[in-house]
Structure 1
Amino acid sequence: MEKRVLIAIALSFLVLGFYPVILQKIYPNYKPGSGLYEKTAGKSRALETPGVTPAISSPSGTYAVDQDFTLRNDKFSLVLNKKGGVIREVSFFGYTDSETKAPLKILSDTSVVRSPGFLDIASSLSGLGKPAGVYEIQDEAGRVRLSAASLDGKLKTTKLYSFENKKYHGRLTVRFQNTSDAPLEFYYCLYAGASLPPRHSIDEQYIEANIFPAEEGKNQIQHVKETKAGKTVQSRHFVDWVATKDRHFSIILKPVSKSAFKGLVQGLGSHRFDVSLLSEKVSLPPGGWLESEFLMYIGPNEIEELLPLGLDPLVNFGKLDMIGKALVGGLELLHSVFKNYGLSIILLTFLINLLLFPLTRAGYMSMKRMQVIQPQMAKVREHNKKNPEKMNREMMELYKKHKVNPFGGCFPMLLQMPVFIALYVALSKSVILVNSHFLWVNDLSSPDSVYLPVSLPFLGNKIHVLPLVMVAAMVIQQKFTQIKMEGQDPAMETQQKMMALMMPVIFGFIFYSMPSGLVLYWLTNTILMSLYQLHLKKVTLT
């Protein structure tokens, strides 16, 4: 029996240690290989430089803050800068910073040159990556037109930003005109922007680039998270859109017409990158022009906003996507009735546990039957120490006689895991929890914080209360629901008690910096499981 306890402890630590790996398998981050291709007659062939990706250098220079222009609608404020003609700051009016209470900013780094709308033009792929030029800005009543000269003054470039009221999306129109008396050939990259800066420590793992292929039958979104500095990751197929996203918000660029663009992700180091659309070679005769239109989305990762634009694949919960979206839909339905997401999480957790209660009951009753025959199992082991084959045969006869399945306690629990994992991921990434209040919690999408009059070692001047409440609930659960075997030796009983204390502490470390909505779900689930198990302990075996 002592060996079984040690094995149980080892397996518990193994599960905790490999939990991130398990999630990685369920929600893989696909990192595509590089390669430059173009489509001709339904096939793919290499461009002039087979197997070569554009070597884009990092442009130097920073923004001049006094060259800003602000474009607003009902949803957000965009600050455009003359240097590069880019969007250097985004503030949402419908969301607030949980610390400052000011409009939430997802972009405000003035040191990043390749911000949304940055246009890189060169006569060859190897020439991409030059410093940003300075644009002239014209205000056109709700639209902003920016103009600049490129390619040694031979090419006039114009960008027109236009956003509707009450919408997170708009149009970015790019026009090229050959002002020289000779033909021009060039490539260009239009940037969705750099990786969005994390607002909380938990945001880092969710920052990624997305590339969605335009090829028929290839509707699998490509995720790129970590790219080494100087390394370029490029799509092998033409793309429908590209995005830079974090846990809750995204900036997306999508060609309006069926143009041939590749998705490009450039590594900047320190888990940072930028994302762009790379054109094919453009050829313009003297005086000729080309105009391309792009849909630009700057907003929350919310299906209701993305679905009409054909961008809904961006919201994805991995292989459990359907379950996760169904649970989020249930959460929104409860919120429409009770008007509070904290209360809705509690009710949804209760309904899920109620639905899965038959499985919980079956698993616990199987464990209880195993507890009853434990003394007989100990005798079988003792009498057949030197004959493992006979011991296994008598064990199977014992299980059959008492109608006990040795795996009966585990199998029902495993059936519940997809639901709990899907809800875990959905609550971690769902934008509907941003700025949602519950009791003392100001934002269910981030850790709850209670400020202290003094600064504590390792914690500072604030603590996260909800994870501490969760740890206390888990300690109580372990104490009142621990199964004690008849004839159990004192040493093994001591080990079980140690394990019962260690597990809540380990979970406390894991959940301490998690979103408070997720902690609330786990706390509610812990309390409900404790009540269920206390009830089932009183049930008589039949």
Structure 2
Amino acid sequence: MEKRVLLALAISFLVLGFYPVILQKFYPQSAKTSPTASLEPLPSSPASGNLKGSDLRGAVSPAFLGDTERLLQEEDLAIGNERVKAVFNKKGGLVREISFPRFADPKTQEGLKFLSADSSGSLPGLVSLSPDGMQFKEALTGYQAEERPGEILFVPSSDADGVRIVKSWRLEKDSYASRLEIRLENASNAPKELYYQLFVGPSIAPRHSIDSQYIEANFYSDVDGKKVLQHPKESKRGKVVTSQGKLEWAATKDRHFSIIFKPLSGTFKGAVQGLGNHEFQVFLLSEKIALPAGGAIQHDFLVYHGPNDIQELLPQGLDPIVNFGKLDLFGKLLVGGLELLHKVFRNYGIAIIALTTLINVLLFPLTRVSYLSMKRMQLVQPKVNQLRQQHGKNPEKMNRELMELYKKHKVNPFGGCLPMLLQMPVFVALYVALSKSVALLNEGLLWIRDLSLPDSVQLPMALPLLGKEAHLLPLIMVGAMVIQQKFTQVKMEGQDPSVEMQQKMMAVLMPIVFGFVFYSMPSGLVLYWLTNTLLMTVYQLRLKSVTLT
């Protein structure tokens, strides 16, 4: 095989290899925070708790996990509506399970379970106390639960070092949000100063291997007058990172759902603590609280436990958690367009096809300019080759002659690339938006049962590399790309036979490489790329018939 073939193959693999890096640049999963919103180990200011990572390791000790197991053996109770169901533990006053009836499994009809007691880390609603902001102790006093319509009041059966912690959870009607009230009562005869932690929840266990890269904590803060979404990344056991600026809310999330705690009163820091093995837990950290003897203080919180859906999050002021990176506006516009098309076609698979078609139609003028520019380059290619042969030993003269040739024939050597570069932000934004869209969850098309996951078909026998199950849509996409390459390949006059052979090989190898890249991706993304490939094939065949002079 000639060196140029190897070079072409190397370039193609480099492009594909660095594509995730490009995506990471535009759409960071755990974005590096700007200097004005840097995340640091716990600071030493009293308002943030004067905590150190080593101190917090004692605050969330293995003993607590044992207590959780004991408490979770107690009787549970639940509140819920048509959107969300939350199961509470009576004795611990904790949320031990969250599920979503609207995202029920098509087979079992059971609501999607988002959080369970099996999760690593502390469950939402746990409160820990500290007299000095250094060492925290879990306030596992045991509770008596009083049920009211849509509300559960947890009254402590004893106090924690003279402090009673009363919790009230109230689920809002027809909403994914609830209201949490935390009331601290000084049951002693002496004044007390203390800090407390309120746990938002643990890192979410992935439901599918695709979900792992999207599991993260978020802080949303006002930093020097600028709203900043922070992406703290900490999984090293015992290590703690806190938010900067004035915290508005803290969250733990995955690809499709979030748990968000938004303080409505009081001043808090957000904090994430690593648990090891890529797991973490998120909590709020109060400022110093002074309780006179017999006195009390109450803090209210908005708690969101639901999908990463802008329409659901916007009324609560939580929509910044849906973020598509540097092309965020493009991504949100495309998701909005997808929702509008779904209202027309009543199927997200068809809506993806329609949206991809609409985008291609709108960008067709740029596609036309790009293709015709490349075609003009093909017309002058024999003369370009001739000049290179004549002046190969004099690069300066060769470049001057080439520029005159391009000017004479009105050819821009970069004309084929620039229009395509202008289209890239739209295609990348659509790609990322589809990869995160909760709208595709449990939505099907033909044999595809869930557009948010790879499609699968059962095979009559096990095949090498595939097993007894195959992802059919990526294989169809590979076939479409091979056909596109075959129909749109142009043989130029005077073309070197070896170059022609290289083009034929690349026409086969590139679809295969893309097939490997897309094979385990969500079927909604593959459907988008397949539709785009078919449309580009039609456009190129049509433009191929255009005659240039």
Contact 1:471 1:505 in 2 (8 A): yes
On the 8 A contact 2:39/2:232 being kept in 1, the answer is no
Secondary structure of the structure 1 residue equivalent to 2:98: strand
Instruction: Name the CA shift for 1:66/1:214 in 2 (closer, same or farther; >3 Å).
Output: same
Cα shift readout 1:121-146 (whole Å, capped 9, x = no counterpart): 22233312648553332222321122
- Of 411, 417, 425, the match for 2:418: 411
SS of the aligned residue for 1:403 comes to coil
Matches within 5 A, 1:251-330: 251-257=259-265, 259-330=266-337
1: distance between equivalents of 2:377 and 2:14?
24
8 Å Cα contact 1:235/1:264 also seen in 2: yes
CA distance in 2 between counterparts of 1:52 and 1:224 reads 17
Partner Cα separation in structure 1 for residue 463 and residue 111 of structure 2 = 30
Q: Retained in 1: the 8 A contact 2:74–2:91?
A: no
CA–CA separation in structure 1 for the residues paired with 2:326 and 2:108? 37
Q: Specify the code of the residue in structure 2 equivalent to 1:240.
A: E
Write the distance in 2 (CA, Å) between the matches of 1:373 and 1:157.
81
- Gap regions ≥5 residues in structure 2: none
CA distance in 1, matches of 2:306, 2:466: 33
What's the counterpart of residue 397 of structure 2? 390
1:512 aligns with 2:519: yes
| Contact 1:187-1:278 at 8 Å conserved across structures | yes
1:34 is aligned, of 27, 31, 40, to 40
Matched, 1:119 2:127: yes
Report the CA distance shift for 1:373/1:155 in structure 2 as closer, same or farther (over 3 A).
same
Q: SS where residue 233 of structure 1 aligns?
A: strand
Closer, same or farther in 2 for the Cα pair 1:79/1:460, shift >3 Å?
A: farther
Matched residue type, 2:295? G
Quote the offset at 1:434 in angstroms: 1.5
What is the aligned residue count?
534
Match of 1:530 in 2: 537
Contact residue 155 and residue 167 of structure 2 kept, 8 A: yes
1:419/1:317 Cα in 2 relative to 1: closer, same or farther (>3 Å)? same
- Corresponding residue of 2:471: 464
With normalisation by structure 1, the TM-score equals 0.93
1:59 Cα shift? Answer: 2.9
Partner of 2:338: 331
Do 2:431 and 2:525's aligned partners in 1 also have CA atoms closer than 8 Å? Answer: yes
User: Residue 231 of structure 1 corresponds to which residue in structure 2?
Assistant: 239
**CA 1:47/1:24 → structure 2, altered by over 3 Å: closer, same or farther?**
same
Deviation of 1:226 after TM superposition, in Å, equals: 4.6
Per the TM alignment, residue 441 of structure 1 is displaced from its structure 2 partner at its CA by 1.2
Residue 242 of structure 1: which of 241, 245, 250 is its match? Answer: 250
**What are the within-5 Å matches in structure 2 for residues 58-69 of structure 1?**
58-60=60-62, 61=66, 62-63=68-69, 64-69=72-77
SS at match of 1:468: helix
- Find out whether 1:143 has 2:151 as its counterpart: yes
Task: Give the match for residue 190 of structure 1.
Answer: 198
CA contact (8 A) 1:367 1:409 kept: yes
What amino acid does structure 2 have at the position aligned with 1:470?
A: M
Letter in 1 for 2:147: D
What is the match of residue 102 of structure 1? 110
- The 8 Å contact of residues 262 and 279 in structure 1, kept in 2 or not, is answered as yes
Structure 1 residues 73, 47: CA separation in 2 closer, same or farther (over 3 Å shift)?
A: closer
Q: Secondary structure at the match of 2:403?
A: helix
Distance 2:375 2:355 in 1: 28
Contact map agreement 1:183 1:286 (CA 8 A) in 2: yes
Question: What is residue 366 of structure 1 aligned with on the other side?
Answer: 373
| Alpha-carbon shift at residue 214 of structure 1 (Å) | 3.7
**In 2, distance between residues paired with 1:227 and 1:99?**
35
Name 1:56's counterpart in structure 2. 56
Query: 1:378-408 CA deviation, whole Å, 9 max, x = no partner?
Result: 1111111211111111111111111111111
Q: Which secondary structure does the structure 1 equivalent of 2:452 belong to?
A: coil
Q: Distance in 2 between matches of 1:83 and 1:26?
A: 46
Match of 2:88 in 1: 80
Give the distance between the partners of 1:231 and 1:418, measured in 2 at CA: 37
Aligned to 1:357: 364
Tell me how far 1:453 sits from its aligned partner.
4.3
Does the 8 Å contact 1:209/1:243 carry over to 2?
Answer: yes
Map Cα deviations across residues 335-374 of structure 1 (whole Å, 9 max, x no partner): 1111111111111111111111111111111111111111
CA distance in structure 1 between the partners assigned to 2:399 and 2:4 by the alignment:
16
> What's the CA shift for 1:284?
0.8
Q: 1:41: which partner in 2? A: none
**d(CA) in 2 for partners of 1:351, 1:462:** 33
Shift of 1:216: 6.0
Instruction: Tell me if the contact between 1:454 and 1:461 (Cα under 8 Å) persists in the aligned partners.
Output: yes
Distance 1:282 1:131, change over 3 A: closer
Q: Which runs of 5+ in 1 are unaligned?
A: 39-44
Contact 1:35/1:235 (<8 A) preserved: no
Render the CA deviation track for 1:174-216: whole Å, top value 9, x for unaligned: 0111111112121111111011111111111111111001456
- Computed over aligned residues only, the root mean square deviation of the Cα atoms, in angstroms, reads 2.3
Give the structure 1 partner of residue 24 of structure 2. Answer: 24
Deviation at 1:294, TM superposition (A): 0.3
Deviation at residue 536 of structure 1 after TM alignment? 0.8
In 1, Cα distance between the equivalents of 2:46 and 2:395?
A: 64
- Residue aligned with 1:170, SS: strand
Q: Deviations over 1:216-253 (max 9, x none)?
A: 62212111245322211111222000111111111110
In structure 2, the CA distance between the partners of 1:99 and 1:124, relative to structure 1 (3 Å rule), is farther
Q: Distance in 2 between matches of 1:455 and 1:157?
A: 59
Q: CA, structure 1 residues 484+166, in 2 after alignment: closer, same or farther (shift >3 Å)?
A: same
Alpha-carbon distance between aligned partners in 1 of 2:248 and 2:48, rounded to the nearest angstrom: 23
Bigger mean CA offset, 315-324 vs 292-301: 315-324
Shift of 1:511: 1.2
- Overall identity of the aligned pairs, in %: 57
Change (3 A) 1:50 1:152: closer
Q: Give 2:174's aligned residue.
A: 166
Change (3 A) 1:271 1:206: same
Q: Distance in 2 between matches of 1:384 and 1:24?
A: 43
1:432 to 420, 433, 439: 439
